[in-house]
């Protein structure tokens, strides 16, 4: 697979991005061959570079989200910086930004301004709560959005709510921004119509709250926090085997429930117990059901329990740690790891989850801050003397 034959080869993305949502969207465009020029502040760059120092002295977030990009330092608040940005946008196909509320309009890079200046440019705006409406000016970070959508009220134990362990609001927004840009590129290619893209963290995560939202509005009660169990399906969750290992199982329907009773629990009569005859009944009597299963599993090692679940056709898993996941046989035996470069040294990175037949994703290095500033400015016609003057003025 050559660079020219990847799906997005030949397309240029300019991004005024920071943190997670926009960088996740643009990294996926880079995976498919787009050239992504990441604009960063001269003093420190994307603040996600300094979230932690766990990866050869670099941030785990940053190395995950920014491979295969070109880093250009540019102070876009300065007239000379805005002039460089204008030259970049004149050659770009897509512009992505997740600036603070109101900042894009002040810089003249909001969707309406860009549509007037660059009629073939696709703009993608990522905000916290939308660019209009009562919360347009409100700052939004992942935890705030998890709380405002009600996700935190659903996550955790009955006694203690908890946030999701990853940045789900940011990731959701990044995914919808990515798919929105692809859709707009398709529209431009097939109809010539330029469709601007707007995604908010709140509305992206609101979409993911669809099931509990319907359950609450039309069922009359909100799903209750159930720890690692499923709030509305039972049995569905972790159980400790006799050797102390935790086995996770999921029963999705009455046929699987009967198989669990007959093959795994060796108690066919249990399937007809009126306390457990339907999923709703099993949820209502979850504590009694869990006691029955726990007592059974507690007499056998996890290996034996897992073998019985496999024989019965019941979905199962082990309760892995992140360390276990890193050495997972599925990733290892399917060859999902690749070595990429970073300023601090080589690291292992996962291939993108969508495998396209005959297409090798781009897996290039994570850029150092401003690594490509001089080369990109040279492409724009700036002389070495011009570059030196911009650097001396603090613009780059």
Which residues are catalytic, by number?
A: 230
Q: How far apart are CA 111 and CA 365, in angstroms?
A: 31
3-state secondary structure of 110: coil
Q: What are the residue ranges of helices labelled H in 192-278? A: 201-208, 210-219, 254-259
Q: How many CB atoms lie within 10 A of CB 249?
A: 22
Please list the residues that pair with 378 across neighbouring strands. Answer: none
Rg over alpha carbons for the chain, rounded to the nearest Å, is: 25
Q: How far apart are CA 53 and CA 12, in angstroms?
A: 30
Residue 107 structure tokens: 């810089």
Residue 268 structure tokens: 């066919």
Does an H or E element contain 326, and which? helix 322-326
Does an H or E element contain 181, and which? helix 168-191
Q: What percent of the residues of the chain are helix, what percent strand, and what percent coil, each to the nearest 5? A: 45, 15, 40
Per-residue DSSP letter, 268: G
């Amino acid at each position: 697979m050559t660079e020219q034959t990847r799906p997005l080869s030949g397309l240029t993305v300019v991004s005024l991005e920071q943190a997670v949502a926009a960088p996740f969207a643009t990294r996926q465009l880079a995976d498919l061959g787009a050239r992504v020029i990441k604009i960063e502040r001269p003093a420190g760059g994307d603040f996600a570079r300094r979230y932690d120092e766990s990866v050869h002295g670099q941030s785990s977030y940053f190395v995950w989200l920014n491979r295969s990009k070109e880093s250009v330092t540019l102070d876009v608040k300065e007239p000379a910086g805005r002039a460089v940005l204008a030259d970049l946008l004149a050659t770009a196909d897509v512009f992505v930004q997740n600036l603070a509320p109101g900042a894009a309009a002040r810089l003249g890079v909001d969707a309406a301004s860009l549509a007037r200046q660059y009629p073939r440019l696709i703009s993608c705006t990522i905000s916290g709560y939308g660019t209009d409406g009562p919360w347009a000016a409100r700052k939004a970070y992942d935890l705030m959005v998890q709380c405002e959508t009600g996700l935190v009220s659903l996550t955790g134990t009955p006694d203690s709510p908890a946030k999701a362990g990853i940045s789900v609001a940011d990731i959701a927004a990044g995914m919808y921004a990515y798919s929105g840009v692809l859709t707009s590129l398709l529209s431009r290619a097939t109809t010539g119509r330029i469709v601007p893209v707007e995604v908010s963290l709140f509305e992206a995560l609101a979409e993911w709250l669809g099931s509990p939202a319907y359950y609450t509005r039309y069922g009359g009660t909100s799903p209750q926090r159930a720890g690692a169990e499923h709030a509305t399906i039972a049995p569905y969750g972790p159980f400790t085997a006799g050797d102390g290992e935790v086995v996770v199982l999921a029963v999705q329907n009455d046929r699987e429930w009967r198989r669990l009773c007959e093959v795994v629990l060796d108690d066919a009569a249990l399937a007809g117990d009126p306390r457990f005859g339907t999923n709703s009944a099993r949820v209502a009597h979850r504590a009694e059901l869990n006691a029955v299963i726990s007592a059974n599993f507690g007499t056998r090692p996890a290996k034996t329990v897992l073998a019985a679940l496999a024989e019965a056709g019941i979905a199962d898993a082990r309760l892995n740690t992140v360390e276990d996941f890193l050495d997972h046989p599925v990733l290892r035996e399917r060859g999902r790891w690749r070595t990429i470069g970073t300023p601090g040294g080589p690291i292992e990175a996962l291939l993108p989850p969508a495998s396209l037949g005959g297409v090798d994703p781009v897996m290039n290095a994570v850029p150092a801050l401003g690594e490509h500033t001089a080369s990109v400015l040279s492409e724009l016609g700036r002389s070495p003397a011009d570059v030196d003057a911009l650097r001396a003025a603090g613009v780059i």
